[in-house]
Amino acid sequence: MRWTPAVLHRHRHGRVQCVLCPFRCSLKDGETGLCGVRRRSGDGLQTATFASSVRHWDSVERKPLYHYRPGAPCLTLAAPGCTFACDYCINHRMSQYGREDSVPWDAEPVDAEDVVREAAARSGCVAISYTEPSLAVELTAALAESGRPLGVEVVWKSNGFLTPEAVDLAARHVAAVNVDVKTLDERDHRELTGAPPGPVLDALTGLRERGVWVEVSTPLIPGLTAGPDTLRPIARALAALDGAIPWHLVRATPAHRRTGHAPTPVAALEAGVRTGHEEGLRHVYVERALGADGRATRCPGCRTTVVDRDVWALGQNSLEDGRCPRCGTRVEGRW
Ligand code: SF4
């Protein structure tokens, strides 16, 4: 494990405060923040996240991002650590490093230029996923800076728990992000993640305002977040921002410490899609449980299928310069 200089901190009342996430840990010398991967060293801050537990190729559809360069290959990294402690996390062996004693360090330092060269060779992008990518904002910046001359962009799958300062910085380096909005209910969100939901919606809004392409995912956990009391407020909040925000409804299977439920029923996913449309969202997706229909992008004007997808892969993109080939309506996205 290697500690390297970190950004996003300030001096306050004799302490060094990390301002990356809304916990805003105020640290004594040598102390590590709640995330377990950022620590104070002297008058500065260090991070352990210039490293990755994985390095493999998958598709942008798997993030999931459906309206950003469909079919683009993504060289995917995951720096250990997370600002949330979700009890259903399927990636807890990577994400909970520093928060759970039973999770060992298992990552290698990253050479940003080498990663970007590999991505450029396949005209792909670099994704940071599985863990919380905002904790690796320094790595993100290095990848984006190396990637810019080669046309390689960086995308995130994030929990959205960022301060406005972190949003500002991330927006300069991240082209697209899928943000998890698990619930807007304060108590449920704290129970699931250990953190409040408010900053997530603020960050999502801030990223969009700064030009980052944003899609949203919501896990439908039976008995907690799979019902209309959770889904309707989220759909309403997203539609109030922009009805064109793609919303991915994610089937939950028992995982980690949340094992006492069955996989999300198909009927709950179907109801979620209807709720999204009723509230004014134009693109609501379900990856597998509703078949190809759940993954298809339809023209908001004439309902023609303009992008169809296989599981985690592009089928056919019929858009012409981002417009429906039949009626010419523009479909929002980075095509
Ligand atoms: S990123 Fe880590 S150290 Fe920084 S405020 Fe959040 S939990 Fe604390």
What are the pLDDT tens digits along the chain (335 aa)?
A: 999 999 999 998 889 999 999 999 999 999 999 999 999 999 999 999 999 999 999 999 999 999 999 999 999 999 988 998 887 677 878 777 777 788 888 889 999 999 999 999 999 999 999 999 999 999 999 999 999 999 999 999 999 999 999 999 999 999 999 999 999 999 999 988 999 999 999 999 999 999 999 999 999 999 889 899 999 999 999 999 999 999 999 998 866 666 677 889 999 999 999 999 999 999 999 999 999 999 999 999 999 999 999 999 999 999 999 999 999 999 999 99
Atom of ligand 1 nearest to the CA of 45: 3
Same domain assignment for residues 200 and 280: yes
Strand positions, DSSP E, the chain: 4-5, 9-12, 15-18, 26-27, 38-41, 44-47, 51-52, 55-59, 73-77, 108-109, 125-128, 154-158, 174-180, 213-220, 247-251, 284-286, 297-298, 305-310, 313-317
pLDDT computed for residue 224 by the predictor: 86
Q: For residue 184, is it within any domain?
A: yes
Same domain assignment for residues 138 and 31: no
Ligand 1: lining residues by beta carbon, under 6 Å: 18, 20-21, 23-25, 33-35, 38, 83, 135
pLDDT computed for residue 93 by the predictor: 81
Task: Give binding residues for [4Fe-4S] cluster as ranges.
Answer: 82, 86, 89
Cβ atoms of 335 and 65 within 8 Å: the answer is no
pLDDT computed for residue 255 by the predictor: 65
The β-bridge partners of 320 are 323
Q: What is the DSSP letter of 199?
A: H
Same domain assignment for residues 14 and 74: no
Amino acid residing at 324 = C
Helix/strand number for the chain, H first, E second: 9, 19
Q: Cα of 87 to ligand 1 centre, how many Å?
A: 19
Q: CA–CA distance from 2 to each of 37, 42, 109 (Å)?
A: 10, 17, 7
Number of domains in the chain: 2
Same domain assignment for residues 233 and 142: yes
- Structural domain containing residue 19: 4-47
Q: Cα of 8 to ligand 1 centre, how many Å?
A: 10
Same domain assignment for residues 302 and 221: yes
Q: How far apart are CA 285 and CA 291, in angstroms?
A: 10
Q: For residue 156, is it within any domain?
A: yes
**Within 10 Å of residue 9's Cβ, how many Cβ atoms?**
23
Q: Cα of 157 to ligand 1 centre, how many Å?
A: 18
In the numeric block, the tokens 């520093």 are attached to 98
Residue identifier of the C-alpha nearest atom 6 of ligand 1 = 21
In the numeric block, the tokens 């009805």 are attached to 243
Q: What is the DSSP letter of 303?
A: -
Same domain assignment for residues 286 and 267: yes
Q: Cα of 51 to ligand 1 centre, how many Å?
A: 17
Same domain assignment for residues 95 and 217: yes
Q: How far apart are CA 175 and CA 193, in angstroms?
A: 26
